[in-house]
Amino acid sequence: MKYIEFGPQKDKVSVIGVGCMRISQMSEPEAEAFVETSLDAGINFFDHADIYGRGASERVFGRLFADKPSLRDKMFLQSKCAIHDGMYDFSGDYILKSVDGILERLNTDHIDSLLLHRPDALMEPDEVGEAFDKLKASGKVRSFGVSNENRFQMELLQSGLSDAIAANQIQMSIVHCPTIDAGINVNMMNDPGVMRDGGTIEYCRLKKIAVQCWSPLQKGFFGGVFLGSEEYPKLNELLSAIAAEKNTSVDAVAYAWLLRIPAKMQVITGTTKPSRILEAAKATEIVLSKKEWYDLYKAAGKQLP
């Protein structure tokens, strides 16, 4: 497993993170296997959100910690808040209330990272900063970040914060990577050349912000996986060929494509199957050449100008 330094404390976190969105119905033995498999593979990063299973996913971990409290010290816990009642809410009181709920459900006295879940158009940076300062001073949250934000939204938010933004979680895969497309097609009169995010990847590289890729195997906004999809025959053929050559799985190659980007990259998996978590961990053993990276990009239907 490979690790990056995360947040102001420079915590050592795995570049493969385990997403917990789909674990709300897990039994305790299943949850324990899910966690133990991840930890045994060197994965110490677990990603939650207060809306996952309407809080039930966090409660799964809370029950696990009640029975095995030693597990908590082995992992880096991240959760997210801001989505409720059909809106995005960065108000200070709501952030503070949300964290209290997260901690209660997780049965822990702190989380290692809190992300604001999607941008709030009515955000007040100073108000957010005040809430973050209270959470850090109380020991409830150790580092802070965002999700699905562009460069200027992060810059605006940062103006009210005491600590630097630690992470930005964005949707990204070989097939869905508009932030990469725009960088490759600069100054071109085509759709990929439209910069929709203001240079998020480049900004995160400059500011040493971790880029957390969610839906790393999806072909669109929860549009299904591209692995084995008839829509992407060339991509799947090349993924299979590279996987066979490197004696690994197509999943691992798809994850390795994201990790090859020279930023603080993390891949957040969505699987609940221990066998696929182990396959994801193998992605850190693969280093794609530039040619392999570009060949996969083009096989996904992308064109170089």
Q: How many residues does the chain have?
A: 305
**Residues designated catalytic:** 52
Rounded distance, CA 168 to CA 16, Å?
15
The token duo for 295 is 């060949």
For residue 201, give every residue at least 6 positions away whose Cβ sits within 8 Å of its Cβ, in sequence order, or none.
179, 180, 183, 211, 261, 263
Cβ distance 40 to 14 under 8 Å?
no
Rounded distance, CA 267 to CA 293, Å?
16
